Amino acid sequence: MRRIRGAEVCGVFYDLNPSVVGLQLRQWTEHFPCYLAGANMLFVPHAGYVYSGQVAARAYKQLANGPSRRVFMLADNHQREWATRGVAVPNFDAFQIFDHQISVDRTFCADLLEKFPNIFHSTEKAYNGHVIEVHLPMLLHFMENSTISLVPLVFQGTIEEERRMLAEYLHSRWTDGDLIIISSDLSHYLPAQSAEARDHETLAALLSERIPLGENCLCGREALSCAQHIASRRRWICNFIDYTHSGVNSSAAARVVGYGALAWTREAIRFPDDAFIALEKLAMRCIECALTQVPPPDMDQLLKQFPQFLVRQSVFVTLMKNGRLRGCIGGLGDFSQTVLDGVQRRAIDAAFRDSRFPPVTSEELRQLEAHVSILSFPTELQLPCDRWIEHLSGVNPKPGIILEIGGRTSTFLPEVWEQIPEPKDFLCALCRKQGVPEDAWKNPMAKLFLYTTQTRHELY
């Protein structure tokens, strides 16, 4: 006889009526694009839907292009009833959500119990509460055409080596269509401004493939640690989806909880050449509007054609005049703006705020060309500085580079390698750009970050 676990937080964390839940999820995602070619792993919050539902739903919408079969849901223990050190697997057969039953993959759970008898425990107590259940209505809604089997794992007091061993096992058993859900909120009970700053640091760490180390940065640290090992082994790319905090939908700005959503994919989001042509035309149009003091163009039609313009990635806009540089401004490691907003802002900055050049004039406008570069999130090169040249010599294609020394940074886009092909000269030039001695990159405290760019193919 199948053991069915009923819903416990229905009517508290989400509405009792499945039609109301469905309407909420459609409203929250109606104008938010599905721009990923199938996500393999999500980091999503687990608070009540009134606070974090929209952020979580926007992440789940990215599954529409890649329905899954087996869902590994990883969370840290939030229940006092289960205080055993290790990892919990269910001792029941299915979750009941509304009129649906979501089956637990008991065979896989049994394999875990057999493979790791000193770590895993078969229990129901760890599943009291919300950290697993709140995700199940969203799985049903956004994966309605999939047959889902669930492997919910709840972590309590595990050590790094245990999580690494489990990650290696999950990696070895991975099949196409599998999905990982990391259930975690971000900072807890900080003032709104402090929470936003702390959460930005945490999300930036995740996007650059680092483990967040700060205090009070998230509540799913063990689950995340295990999942990040899997993502690293499978070379998945992390993408920012959305962020908010509980103060946005309440008056309690003095004590808020942060909610972020991320998605990992096999490939980076790709922008075709016609998308870059549209962005370059937009950049020039924004400069023209600024010069003539007319409102910027409407973006609705552009977004219908290219919904991926709502991706939050860093953008550089380069202006050329008769084949020579006329301005170049961009952001680094910035996910505060969409590509669309970034192009508009950086076009104005490149035209009127690049300190190396006077502001662009109306007479110059017809002589200008705008080139747009979309940057991946930079990742730190985890090598001592005396090995940087060797590493860069063997990398192809060449990456963009950010050099950080004593809190100051300088960067060159990948195109600069055409003018400075030798890695040592490249690093020295980055030092000169900062106004420090050419060999300052040899400082043991210096850091090097690498990134890639997408541009229109025929440009370079």
CB distance 79 to 160 below 8 Å = no
3-state secondary structure of 410: strand
- Final residue of a domain: which of 359, 374, 389? 374
Give the count of domains, the chain: 3
Closest to 227 in 3D by CA, of 77, 26, 19, 76: 76
Name the pTM for this structure.
0.82
- Final residue of a domain: which of 343, 374, 405? 374
Confidence (pLDDT) at 65:
53
* Euclidean distance between CA atoms 315 and 337, whole angstroms: 9
Task: Note the pLDDT tens digit of each residue in 406-449.
Answer: 889 999 999 899 999 999 999 999 999 999 999 999 999 999 99
SS (H, E, C) 330-350: ECCCCCCCCHHHHHHHHHHHH
224 and 307 assigned to the same domain = no
407 and 344 assigned to the same domain = no
Residue 295: domain span: 273-374
3-state secondary structure of 256: strand
* Euclidean distance between CA atoms 32 and 34, whole angstroms: 7
Question: At which residue do the structure tokens 């290696």 appear?
Answer: 168
189 and 88 assigned to the same domain = yes
**Up-side HSE of residue 103: CA atoms within 13 Å toward CB?**
11
Confidence (pLDDT) at 459:
44
Task: Note the pLDDT tens digit of each residue in 37-70.
Answer: 679 999 999 999 999 999 999 999 998 655 668 9
332 and 207 assigned to the same domain = no
Question: Tokens at residue 128, please?
Answer: 């009291």
Residue 323 belongs to a domain with what CATH number?
3.30.700.20
* Euclidean distance between CA atoms 451 and 444, whole angstroms: 21
364 and 399 assigned to the same domain = no
Residue 337 sits at φ, ψ, to 5 deg, of -130, 150
Closest to 31 in 3D by CA, of 333, 436, 307, 366: 307
- Final residue of a domain: which of 374, 404, 435? 374
294 and 370 assigned to the same domain = yes
* Euclidean distance between CA atoms 346 and 138, whole angstroms: 37
227 and 347 assigned to the same domain = no
Residue 447 belongs to a domain with what CATH number?
3.30.1490.150
446 and 338 assigned to the same domain = no
Residue 205 belongs to a domain with what CATH number?
3.40.830.10
302 and 432 assigned to the same domain = no
241 and 104 assigned to the same domain = yes
* Euclidean distance between CA atoms 317 and 442, whole angstroms: 30
Question: Tokens at residue 55, please?
Answer: 């952020």
231 and 295 assigned to the same domain = no
230 and 143 assigned to the same domain = yes
| Helix (H) or strand (E) segment spanning residue 59 | helix 54-60
Amino acid making up residue 332? L
Kindly give the parts of the chain with pLDDT less than 50: 459-460
